[in-house]
Structure 1
Amino acid sequence: MAAELLEGKVVAEAVLEDVASRVAVMKERGVTPGLGTILVGDDGPSVSYVNKKRETCKSVGIASFHIEIPASAGQADLLAAVKDFNESPDVDAYIIQYPLPGGFDFNEALLLMDPDKDADGLHPVNLGRLVLQEPGPVPCTPAGIREMLKHYQIAVEGKEVVIIGRGPTLGRPLSLLMTLKQPFANAAVTVVHSGIADLGSYTRRADIIIAAAGCPGIVQPDMVRPGAVVISGGISWEGRKLLPDVAEEVGEVAGWITPRLGGVGPTTVAMLLRNTMLAAERRLS
C-alpha cells in the first residue's frame, strides 16, 4: 500500500494565507514589510530559489529588495551589501543566498548581519535563542518541517525521530527544534550522517525519519520501518534534475512521505516570509 503524501504546497498555502492577512493589517497602519535577498554569482538553483521568493513576496504584499553580486566581485562587496540591508529602514529581514561561490566567506557575512533582520534564522544569536526557547526567527526549513507535521497532525511528542545530516541550515537546528518541550516536538532525537557505517540500524527503529544529507537515495526501502513517516529535506542536483535523499521506492513501505517535488521546498519559502512578517510586526510594536 502506497504511503500518504505530505504535500508541502498545501501547508505553504495555509501559512501564506495567514501572512497575507497580517501584512494587510500592517499596511493599514502604514507599514509594508520588506524582504531583502543577496545573490552572489549565477548558480542556477540559487537564482531559481531567489526568484521564487521574490514572486511569493508579491503574492502576499511584502516588498522585495534585491542585490546581485557577480562571482568575479570580492568579499568586500558582499559585506557592503549586508551593511546596506542592516541600515535600510525598508528591509525588515533579509537572506544571503547559500551556497556562495568560491572565494566568499558566508560565515563572516552572517556574523555581520543584524540578528533581528535574519530571515533565515541562522545567525548565532538566533540559534542561541532557539536553544533557550526565546522568541526569534527559526531556521526556515526546520520550521517548515515542523509546520508540515503539525498540519497533518503527525504525532511527534515522545516519538523516536532520526535525522540524517548535521548541516547548519537543516539537520543541526532541526535536532534542536524537535527536542524542545513544545507541541509537535518533544521527541527523542538521534542525529546521524553519511559517515555512519550502518544507517539502517538507526532508521529502522524510527517513527519519523528526516533525511537532510544532500546524498541522493541515501534512504532506501529496507531502512524504513513499515508505516514510518519519511521526510526528504536534503536535495542535490544532476544538471537540472533534482535528486532527493529518499529513494522513490520508500513510498511502498512508509506510512507518510514527502513527494519528490512539492514537499519541503514550498514550506521553506513560506516560513521565510513568515519570519519577515514577524520582524515587521516587531518593528510596529
Structure 2
Amino acid sequence: MSFVRDGNVLDGSAVSDHVRGQLRDSVDALADAGATPSLATVLMSTDPASETYVSMKQRACDDLGIESVHRELDADAPAAELFETVEELNADPDVNGILVQMPVPDHVDKRRVLRSIDPAKDVDGFHPENVGRLVAGDARFKPCTPHGVQLLLDAAGVDPAGKHAVVVGRSDIVGKPMTNLLIQKDAGGNATVTVCHSRTDDVGAHTRQADIVIAAAGVPELVDGEMLSAGTTVVDVGVNRVDADNEKGYELVGDVDFESAKEVAGLVTPVPGGVGPMTITMLLYNTVKATSQQVDVPVDLPDTGSLGQEA
C-alpha cells in the first residue's frame, strides 16, 4: 500500500483511513469483551472553529463505534461550572476519555483545566503527569498531533534514527512534545533535533541542514523551497486562514509554501489533507488505548514501526 501520491506528496488522509481501519478491529475486540470506548468532549466557547472541531471529533467517534458524550457550557458561565463538569466526567466509569476543547474563556485558568482532568482519561496527553511520563520515555498517551506525525513518517518509510530533524515551533501542543518524541530512544525517535522559534536568527540556516523539517510555528508559509535541501522530508503542521479571492473569502494554508517546497522536498505533506486527519485519528487511538487500560483488556494498536512495513 502506498501513502504517497503525485510523486512526493505524503497523503495524510490515506494514512488516517488505514490507521482507523486498524483501530476498528481494536474497538471490535473491546466490544467482544463487553466494553465500548467512550469519549467526552467539553465545549465552553462560541468560537465557530472550536464548534467545528468538536463536531468533527464526534462524527469520527460515531464512524468508529466509539460513544461520544458532549457537554456544552455557556462561555460566560463561572469557571467553577467547567471544573464541576470535568469532575463529574472523571467520576463516571462509562467515560474513558475526556477532552476540553481549547481555547477556554479568559476567566478560566487553562492550566488548571489541564490539571483537573484525570490523567488516566487525559486523551490529549497534556496533564502534567502525562507530560512528565512522555519526557521520561514512559508515555501513557502521546499527544495527538506529534504522534500523528510519527505515524506519517513511518507510513512513508522515513526512520528518524540518526537523522537531523528541525522542529520549527516550540508550543506545548506540538513543538515541545514533537521534540521529545524525536529524541526518545525508541521507534520513531533517535533523531538529532534542533528547535527553531520566533527568536531564532535565520531559521533557513537550520532547515537547510535538516533531513526532516517539521513546521509548527503558526506562521503562514514561513518555510519555502529556498530554506530546504534537496530530498528533505517536510511535515507541515500549520493550519492558517488567509484572505483569498474566493466565495469564502479565505483559504487554508500551512506553515510551508507548498508549491516551492514540493519542487525540492523528497516528501511533503499538504494542507489540508496532511497532518490534520491524523490528529483526530490519534485522539481516537488514545481513547481506545485508555479504554483498554481501564477495563484491563489488551488490544493491538498500530504504532511506529508497523505502518512502513505495510506500505
Q: In which range does the TM-score fall when normalised by the shorter chain?
A: over 0.9
- The structural deviation recorded for 1:92 is 0.4
Q: Across the two proteins, how many residue pairs are aligned to each other?
A: 284
Within a 5 Å distance, the mapping from 1:109-128 to structure 2 comes to 109-128=113-132
For the Cα contact (< 8 Å) 2:181–2:188, is it kept in 1?
no
Residue among 166, 170, 174 paired with 2:170: 166
Going from structure 1 to structure 2, the CA distance change for 1:46 and 1:3 (only over 3 Å counts) comes to farther
What is the match of residue 252 of structure 2?
Answer: 242
Can you list the C-alpha shifts for 1:90-145, whole angstroms capped at 9, x where unaligned?
A: 11011111222322221111111100000111111111111222240110000000
Q: Does 1:47 align with 2:51?
A: yes
Return the letter of the residue paired with 1:175. Answer: T
RMSD (Å), alpha carbons: 1.4
Structure 1 residue aligned with 2:230: 226
Q: Report what 1:260 is aligned to.
A: 271
Work out whether 1:182 is the aligned partner of 2:192: no
Give CA deviations for 1:73-99 in whole Å, capped at 9, x if unaligned. Answer: 221122112112111111101111122
Kept in 2, the 8 Å contact 1:3–1:257? The answer is no
Alignment-derived partner of residue 304 in structure 2: none
Match runs of 1:135-214 below 5 Å? 135-214=139-218
> Is contact 2:253–2:272 with CA below 8 Å preserved after alignment?
no
SS of the residue aligned with 2:99?
Answer: strand
CA contact (8 A) 1:3 1:252 kept: no
Structure 1 gap segments, 5+ residues each: none
2:287 corresponds to 1:280: no
Instruction: Tell me which amino acid in the other structure corresponds to 1:268.
Output: T
Q: Shift of the alpha carbon at 1:3?
A: 5.8
- Secondary structure at the residue paired with 2:278? helix
2:129 pairs with 1:129? no
Q: Does 1:19 align with 2:26?
A: no
Q: Which amino acid aligns with 2:288?
A: M
Write the distance in 1 (CA, Å) between the matches of 2:109 and 2:97: 20
Q: CA 1:25–1:175 in 2, change beyond 3 Å: closer, same or farther?
A: same
Provide the secondary structure at the position in 1 that maps to 2:55.
helix
- 8 A Cα contact 2:90 2:121, kept in partner: yes
CA–CA separation in structure 1 for the residues paired with 2:138 and 2:154: 20
> Counterpart in 1 of 2:309?
none
Identity over aligned residues, as a percent? Answer: 39
The structural deviation recorded for 1:240 is 5.4
> Tell me, which stretches of 5 or more residues in structure 2 are unaligned?
1-5, 243-248, 297-311
Is the 8 Å Cα contact of residues 234 and 267 (structure 2) preserved in structure 1? yes
State the alpha-carbon separation in 2 of the partners of residues 190 and 41 from structure 1.
Answer: 36
Q: Deviations over 1:141-179 (max 9, x none)?
A: 000000111111113100000000000000000100000
Partner residue in 1 for 2:307? none
Q: Which amino acid aligns with 1:244?
A: G
Letter in 2 for 1:257: V
- Using structure 2 for the length normalisation, give the TM-score: 0.88
Contact 1:5 1:258 in 2 (8 A): yes
Any conservation in 2 of the 1:3–1:253 contact (CA below 8 Å)? no
Question: For 2:63, what is the secondary structure of its paired residue?
Answer: helix
Query: What TM-score, normalized by structure 1, do the two folds share?
Result: 0.96
Distance apart, 1:214 and its partner CA: 0.5
Distance 1:127 1:273 in 2: 19
1:40, 1:100 within 8 Å by CA — same for their partners in 2?
Answer: yes
**In structure 2, distance between residues paired with 1:14 and 1:267:** 10
Structure 1: how far apart are the matches of 2:183 and 2:15? 22
